[in-house]
Structure 1
């Protein structure tokens, strides 16, 4: 080894040792000075064990905190806020019965017969249907006209392109709001069918109050409690329900209406999210607006991006479900149901029976992986509390029968009252928040560092500063420039030049500087000038 290298190495080791002692003497790392500078060997060992134990506890606790952060924990915060006014929700109502048989004509029955389960093979009325259409009493049932026109022996069916579509059938043969709505008040003011919008669902023709469609302003409520919301009296027309001749999707075992309370941005999904209201009762629905906020991944699973849909501009779970079901039916049946958006052709009654109804039932009940709809990050829903009283009372039955020109029995079996109102003029915010973030992690680790080893961020900086200085001190002493500076200081210029030229293996990475005569001559001039100056 070259003599210059050996001397430089000795100087480097000495300087690093002194720097290490100086660092251990003044560092704020608790315990390190006792490990390395204590005079007693057993005392050093004891301090070393204590320091390593504290260090192990620090790393264990810190790793636990890091794992907790990576688990993306959340907590839920609920808060009640008061408002001067609240937007009244949209209220969608549907009769449990889908069609009125008294409105049906022979072409309608021919078109919708298979869909309703009236016909078997060869357009023959099944015995179960004929039995269901026979009334055992002397009174003529509302579906008697239907029974009289079920003979198609001499019937010439209309051309297929002139047959009514399913939307036209449901629009014309469904329950009309003008006939069902007996009484309507909103905040004490009279309202009527003009305040409702027609919408189609799986229950057929339905109606939405305060939909905000067609440029209608949204209704505002400025008070809570009964009498400050929507009050409806409805006639469900139970006597005109389709007779049940079998278990089909279109025949109902129940009597009453389905109701869904939702925001104006959310389409109704009443067959799955609606609640029932029975005749013979006044139903009170006390509502409270709830504004929900969820977190996106990795803390939660809500959908923060805009909805990729040709049908809906605002994302909601119901909009996603309807969009998905529409695409599913168009792909499998080449048509869409009446309640579905888009420009695909409506399914014919035959397509309803043979493809659409079975496909949608399969999708809803079994194929749960096809339509996976995430929760929106921000949504509004309405909490509900329902209570009931009997209507009519014995005292009011005769009056109501006279008022609506019906019998007392008809009033008891067909009339219902629905009262929807805000419980109070407030709303509840339910927020999903991050339970642990980077700031919390740094605070916990900093606290544990102070507890176990008495260190802080500045202590860590001390350690990095010491390592930085030691590394560059060593690097400088091993480079040609540092080596030459040492030689100039020692006034050994001639001998140093010879050592540089002979120690090619030790300083190979720096010898490219001396491959030309010009560089060598310049170096000689530098050394001679330095010697004269001294």
Structure 2
């Protein structure tokens, strides 16, 4: 193959691959499509370029696949703070009902479910409580409200709370909020309910938190009548430390504090941040996406829930899921569950609600995602015996109780922050679009020596090919039809714009005199009125 001269090379169109290869910044392309015939050196360059291109495409596919797996990483950090929001502290007496507040009507309705009492055993049980038997002709009430029973007969905070201090300042029952849980009537300090601003603390350590002295009132505990699943053998209180947004689930997450001891609870706040799908599985929707409000009547539409939607929490979602399950299974809800369905009677508790909820918890059928942002508290517990002998005599005189009563019933709970800092646990995207583009750019430079501008060069070359090959094909067909029809075709507009084109503007075309018939056919008599020969500067004769 004869090599082309310099003039012929210069007249090559821009769509020619050799012209593109000679000016493209893609490494190795000029060695493959250079001038001259095919040589072993050019073949080796072609193999090298193809192998580099294949390696680059493989690495790009791997990076795109890794990005599509949406990996995440977890970052831990400790942050200093000038003040921290004090957590909510929920307290429950382990004994759910006071023996002195039970009536024959309560035993009629709640005795079989709560205590395993048969109707014939009511008189003996009342005698064990030190109460007179039911009067002759006793008629139980036609209805019974379980929630009211626990609110009326449960331990009152005014009777249990002997002393309360927050950051050294006195507090009282008015600083607690009554709440119903599965354990009965409980009380929450710093609940933030009814729009109250949560308390804060500017210091850590003992004396900068909540300190309460409680009387567990063991003389009000129900007697153990039979060995049942709900029989309680311990004495003391259950405590749960949680955020203001999270409902207390003290029967599952609470810890115990025993009488005769002072329990120290050192806390550290942890702020958790999780990623939504596809990087994680967190959710920020309201309580439970599948939860539907219960209808107020069999034919009534669902009633909208009043007030603003509470923030999503894991325990709130589980509580809504449990409520839906118990309502559909038993036709009623337990007293600590939200909703407008009727509260289960004690017999419904025994026959349906408690077994259904326990079976559901064992199977763990609620699928609740972690909230995208939540707060929890890590705890360290320690305890010492209290009161001392001298303190026992003092407390007995102060509260007009015996020393034995003080030793068996009084406890102290001290909740405080270990230090004025909190821990952050944050999920982060391990691989994002900037990292993907950076990896692709690095592989592109390593294997084929290209950049973003090289891609623009390739796109520009493809545009040239499209214009000259595709558009030129249709223009040639159009010109062919015009020639057959006798019209003068116009030059292809791209030819005049091409830098190597020989098409010139009309005002730069050379002007030649039009052919004279005399010079072609010989002399002829001149006709009067005929004009002299004119100059014609058109590209094509008219």
Paired residue for 2:20? 23
Give the Cα separation in 1 of the matches to 2:361 and 2:44.
70
3-state SS, counterpart of residue 276 of structure 2: coil
Distance of aligned partners of 1:216 and 1:457 in 2 relative to their CA distance in 1, 3 Å threshold: closer
The Cα of 1:231 is off from its aligned counterpart by 0.1
Give the Cα separation in 1 of the matches to 2:110 and 2:483.
114
Contact 2:445–2:451, Cα closer than 8 Å, also in 1: yes
The Cα of 1:475 is off from its aligned counterpart by 1.0
Which whole-Å deviations, capped at 9, do the CAs of 1:27-73 have from their partners, x for residues lacking one? 11112222232767222232222222222221222211111101101
Contact 1:242–1:251, Cα closer than 8 Å, also in 2: no
Give the Cα separation in 2 of the matches to 1:92 and 1:178.
15
Of Structure 1 and Structure 2, which has the larger fraction of its residues in helix?
Answer: 1
Distance of aligned partners of 1:48 and 1:157 in 2 relative to their CA distance in 1, 3 Å threshold: same
Contact 2:15–2:468, Cα closer than 8 Å, also in 1: no
Paired residue for 2:171? 191
3-state SS, counterpart of residue 541 of structure 2: helix
List gaps (5 residues or longer) in structure 2.
1-7, 292-304, 490-537
Contact 1:229–1:420, Cα closer than 8 Å, also in 2: yes
2:262 to 282, 298, 304: 282
Distance of aligned partners of 1:317 and 1:418 in 2 relative to their CA distance in 1, 3 Å threshold: same
Give the Cα separation in 2 of the matches to 1:252 and 1:280.
19
Across the aligned residues of Structure 1 and Structure 2, the Cα RMSD in angstroms comes to 2.9
Corresponding position: 1:180 with 2:163 = no
Corresponding position: 1:125 with 2:101 = no
Paired residue for 1:515? none
List gaps (5 residues or longer) in structure 1.
1-10, 134-142, 501-528
| Higher alpha-carbon Rg | 2
Paired residue for 1:146? 129
If the length of structure 1 is used for normalisation, what is the TM-score?
0.80
If the length of structure 2 is used for normalisation, what is the TM-score?
0.79
Contact 1:25–1:33, Cα closer than 8 Å, also in 2: yes
Q: State how 1:96-495 maps to structure 2 within 5 Å.
A: 96-120=94-118, 123-125=119-121, 144-146=127-129, 154=136, 156-161=138-143, 164-307=144-287, 310=305, 313-366=310-363, 368-369=364-365, 371-479=366-474, 481-483=475-477
Paired residue for 1:532? 541
Contact 1:99–1:242, Cα closer than 8 Å, also in 2: yes
Corresponding position: 1:89 with 2:87 = yes
Contact 1:75–1:434, Cα closer than 8 Å, also in 2: yes
Give the Cα separation in 2 of the matches to 1:348 and 1:240.
23
Paired residue for 1:510? none
Distance of aligned partners of 1:155 and 1:359 in 2 relative to their CA distance in 1, 3 Å threshold: farther
Give the Cα separation in 1 of the matches to 2:271 and 2:178.
27
Give the Cα separation in 1 of the matches to 2:202 and 2:94.
33
Q: How many residues are aligned here?
A: 468
Give the Cα separation in 1 of the matches to 2:285 and 2:150.
36
